[in-house]
Structure 1
Amino acid sequence: MDTNILWKERFQNHVKMMSRYLRLMFNDHLAFALIFFVAAGAYFYQEWLSGVPDTFPVDWVLAIVLGMLLAHSPVRTFFKEADTVFLLAVENKMKPYIRNGVFYSLVIQGYWLAIFLFVFTPLYLKIYSGLDAKFLFVILGFLIGLKVINLLAVWFLEKTRDRKIQYLDVVVRFVINAIAVFMLVNQEVVFTLITIGFLLALVYLNYWNVHQKYSLPWDQLIEKEEARLQLFYRLANLSTDVPDLKRKPKKRHGLVRLVKKPIKFDQSNTYIYLYFITFIRSGDYFGMYLRLIGLTIFFIFWIPLFWGKMIFAMLFLFVTGFQFITIYNHHKTIDWVQLYPVSEQIRKKAVHQLIFLLMLIKVGMLSVLFVFATDIVGAVIYAGVGLAFTLFFENFYVKSRLNRMG
């Protein structure tokens, strides 16, 4: 078996799948919202930089953020369940396949390192005003080198099934990486090289103590690969229907009882009950809702100008309503839902009520926080605009989308 050919086939299938879903994800108003978000973020970031004091600890910020990105270094393998049968016999010939996986992981994760370094560059150059901008290429080169070392350290430790050792390895590598980045941004190249030496020693220990002694844990690697794939499917499912998504509901008994209590036991509330419980028990919807609220709170306190706070608050309010329209098709593949003796209009009405309630709760919460972020007048303005936008969005945009989906 030529494992290079096997890698190329799986890589091509992976790229086709990703490109197909990415086109669907960014083929709607979400793409416009993201472009606007990036442009507005860049503007307010520039405004914030003008007032940053020279004592701002940018070196520690870079050390922590980039240290986490370096410590998180999973190796993509694209392994599948059938590989436990068909590839087990050729495990000793898998080196070219794994090497391709490490290189692919380096490219993708190195790209994110470059993005985050680019984002922090204006702040870094402002604090270190006398620094030559060319030194940033030195930092990027060191970061790529550190990423290679971390990828090898993670892969050499994959053969152990001891979770405690793996967690300890992550913590140790984060500390070493953070120290290395801290020394590097402060132009302490010698100390940076010494720190990298400790990281190389860790790689050596992982190789001789684990990688050389054990065989590949196929079931564990396949499980991790499946988890990464399902994570992407969950993100894609927020914008389009993903038939391969495996949904794992959460129990959340307390929240379920709280939601069920005001719902009357009546046929007209069939879909209200279904969709409200689906929202609570699904990690995709409930978790996304909390994250969107958290991001909105961060921006209304971080952005200095009132109209900037309003723009971001309204943008995230739109995203909140937009993301949860897909709950309409959440049970599309379950046949028994289609057997409900309830009209389609009641089903659509339940989605309308859920989205309206979620947006209304968010407007209410943020109106209170606007009092602290601005003043009472600002809170009243946001509450009025937010309520008007919610009514317009729910009565026109959601209605048209559901008609197209149904």
Structure 2
Amino acid sequence: MFNDHFVLVLMFLLGFLAYQYAAFLKNMPQNWLPGYLIAVVVSILILFIGQLATFVEPADQQFLLAKEQAVQAYLKSSIKRSMILPTIAIVIAVLLVSPLVRLPFYLVLLWVIGLIVIKYGLLARKARSFIVHDLIQWGHLINDEKHRQYAVLKIFSQFTEVKGLQQTAKRRKYLDIFLGNSKQAYTYLFIRTFLRSGDYFMLMLRLVGLTFLSLCLLDHDLFALLLSLLFTYLLVFQLLPISQSQDDQIMAKLYPISLTEKQLAAKKVIRYLVFIVSGLELVVSLVTFQDKRLALVFIVSGLFLGMVYPSLKLKSK
């Protein structure tokens, strides 16, 4: 799912985070109260990982109607399979957070077991909600599985192209001023896609928000810089498929526009977006960085990620 460049950056990022976390634990004061708060918050959030996976299809409502008792037994067995991912996530999360509260091993073990039991209870309650008066609520069951699969595909779509994923468009009237009156058809269409798509616009807001949090909250200038560059790279990587966003539009193919002009329009839109983000990063870093010279890296990264990288990637498509 991840490309080679992202895996390499992710390995360095995880290594740096592990080193910083280990250094923090060595200097952490005794009975550090925020550690208990972090442990509680993580314990609550980790319970949201993993949903009941039933893998039912719309056609099952007809073909399995005579096998309701067998389907009910299947729902009970699906709870155990659905517990694999949450159990792994709970064990990893507790092992990472437990040094903050410095509990003995038997309490950590009870902590893990308690979270697993609570998660199992939540999934069992979810499975029971599909059965009313000993009858399966097929509509509710099918819609729940459809939403679960859609959420998983949405995560995959952040890193690779997912076929069959339905896209939704939403008009944001307050952004219509950015549409302009471009004489280039595909430039206008790509800008419109970015502003009204359910993916690109919100993705940019999330990554830019993470970038600004990194620049404002992290005291280590170099680490904040590297993390911001990673988020900017992910933004550009996720914007590249915008060049294919109009491929399924039959009317767009009637335009007497060559493929080269279409690619140039996509590069232009990506370039403008990257320049805007890099400019904002430069301004924020000049305020937050102690070493102001590091902020100049955003100029170089903006030029590379806005002009060179999209040209190389879109040329290979």
TM-score greater than 0.5 by the shorter chain: yes
Q: Check whether the contact 1:241–1:329 (CA below 8 A) recurs between aligned residues.
A: no
Alignment length (residue pairs): 316
Counterpart of 1:146 (choices 85, 96, 118) is 118
**Alpha carbons of structure 1 residues 44 and 368: separation in structure 2 relative to 1, 3 Å:** farther
Give the aligned partner of residue 396 of structure 1. Answer: 308
Give the aligned partner of residue 359 of structure 1. Answer: 274
Give the aligned partner of residue 69 of structure 1. Answer: 46
- Once the two structures are superposed, residues 127-178 of structure 1 have per-residue CA deviations (whole angstroms, 9 ceiling, x without a partner) of xxxx33453223212221221112112222x33xxxxxxxxxxxxxxxxxxx
Any unmatched runs of 5+ in structure 2? none
Give the aligned partner of residue 220 of structure 1. Answer: 140
Counterpart of 2:294 (choices 381, 386, 397) is 381
> Which residue identity lines up with residue 145 of structure 1 in the other structure?
V
RMSD over aligned Cα, in angstroms? 2.3
Identity of aligned residues (%): 26
Q: Distance in 2 between matches of 1:391 and 1:70?
A: 42
> Which residue identity lines up with residue 99 of structure 2 in the other structure?
P
The 5 Å alignment of 1:281-296 reads 281-296=196-211
Tell me, what secondary structure is at the counterpart of 1:94?
helix
Counterpart of 1:258 (choices 149, 157, 177) is 177
Counterpart of 1:46 (choices 22, 30, 33) is 22
Give the aligned partner of residue 341 of structure 1. Answer: 256
Q: Distance in 1 between matches of 2:127 and 2:151?
A: 21
Between 1:331-340 and 1:94-103, the stretch displaced more is 331-340
Give the aligned partner of residue 98 of structure 2. Answer: 121
Tell me, what secondary structure is at the counterpart of 2:262?
helix
**Alpha carbons of structure 1 residues 48 and 346: separation in structure 2 relative to 1, 3 Å:** farther
TM-score (ref. length: structure 1) = 0.71
The 5 Å alignment of 1:266-285 reads 266=183, 269-285=184-200
1:107 to partner: Cα distance? 0.8
Give the aligned partner of residue 208 of structure 1. Answer: none
Give the aligned partner of residue 230 of structure 1. Answer: 150
Q: Distance in 1 between matches of 2:132 and 2:150?
A: 31
TM-score (ref. length: structure 2) = 0.90
Q: Check whether the contact 1:240–1:326 (CA below 8 A) recurs between aligned residues.
A: no
Tell me, what secondary structure is at the counterpart of 1:76?
coil
Tell me, what secondary structure is at the counterpart of 1:74?
coil
Give the aligned partner of residue 179 of structure 1. Answer: none
Q: Distance in 2 between matches of 1:296 and 1:388?
A: 17
Q: Distance in 2 between matches of 1:283 and 1:252?
A: 11
Larger RCO: Structure 1 or Structure 2 (Cα < 8 Å, ≥ 6 residues apart)?
1
The 5 Å alignment of 1:164-203 reads none
**Alpha carbons of structure 1 residues 296 and 56: separation in structure 2 relative to 1, 3 Å:** farther
Q: Check whether the contact 1:238–1:326 (CA below 8 A) recurs between aligned residues.
A: no
Give the aligned partner of residue 318 of structure 1. Answer: 233
Q: Check whether the contact 2:56–2:142 (CA below 8 A) recurs between aligned residues.
A: yes
Between 1:392-401 and 1:63-72, the stretch displaced more is 63-72
1:48 to partner: Cα distance? 4.2
**Alpha carbons of structure 1 residues 72 and 231: separation in structure 2 relative to 1, 3 Å:** closer
> Which residue identity lines up with residue 147 of structure 2 in the other structure?
A
1:292 to partner: Cα distance? 1.0
